[in-house]
Chains A and B, each alone.
Chain A
């Protein structure tokens, strides 16, 4: 199986421009390199990642992104439409925003509830490009890099633990939807 597989486009069933426009002024959940905000004690992976970045002398002043969640930041109806489209059930979903000059360092997405996820069934992870192509909006995944993706493009990951990183060397905020599901 390919590591990242294109599965289709959802721009015809969801008006992503409106979704993103509504998020623009919302605070969402800010994530930075501030160690006190990371659950180092309950999940050792966070500590391992931060240690790896420190060892590489990563520029922590460039680490920042914002997560938005359904129900509180955007309409749950979007998720219902996507579940119907791909015939999956949602475990976790968030819209990630990176502003110009910021990044998410090389990492994989860990979660405190991974064991519980695996009991639900066959887990499947997707990402959806939810804003139009813009200069400098980049997502690197393993040996691939996504740039200039059409709005609504959906990709499935072969494993939710794939290594990835994102940055915005452009001039406008960058948004991607990340979606953990099972079927």
Chain B
């Protein structure tokens, strides 16, 4: 876990954050056919189609900042010394996965003209089968609050849940 940058469970009660999420998460990959026509998305979509990826296995859903405890964003900004650009909580249910991909740039990033940093946090208790990779590094058997910094915001990564309990992560992009 070469990108490990620390643990934040002493400043954020992630169980409380998960217990108080409001509303339903939004599916992150709804219409593959739409991806094919979007800038950036199309490259990843083509990669997946060329590899004949089982699209029925691709299911990730996200919670937006408005659905989270309002204390999370400022606490993370302070801890990381960064200004928030975007953040979300991802949920992968048992038997679902996010194949190898990178996350598309928020339009604000280009306007700001800054080099953003990305940190991802494990926020649910580790359960067997919860896997996450960033480039050639695996993250498994983590503690709640463990934080990983991506080498760049466009770093290739993937996640899967082969276990029996939902897997949650918090993702923060800032400068």
Q: A residues touching B (Cβ–Cβ < 8 Å)?
A: 52-53, 55-64, 99-106, 133, 135-136, 138, 140, 142-145, 147-148, 163, 165-167, 169-172
Contacts and interface: CB of A to CB of B under 8 A. Distances in A.
B98 A169 contact: yes
Contacts of A57: 93-94
Contacts of A60: 95
Interface residues of B, number: 36
A103 B131 CA distance: 12
Question: B54, B93, B95, B98: which has the most chain A beta carbons within 10 Å?
Answer: B95
A82 B57 CA distance: 35
B75 interface: no
A33 B109 CA distance: 44
A142 B162 CA distance: 12
B156 interface: yes
Contact of A140 (B55, B58, B95, B140): B140
Given A62-B95, A138-B160, A171-B53, 14 more contacts: A53-B95, A56-B94, A59-B59, A59-B94, A101-B52, A104-B162, A105-B94, A136-B99, A136-B100, A140-B163, A147-B138, A169-B133, A169-B158, A170-B100
Contacts of B94: 53, 56-59, 105
B84 interface: no
B57 A59 contact: yes
A107 to B, nearest CB: 9
A181 B56 CA distance: 36
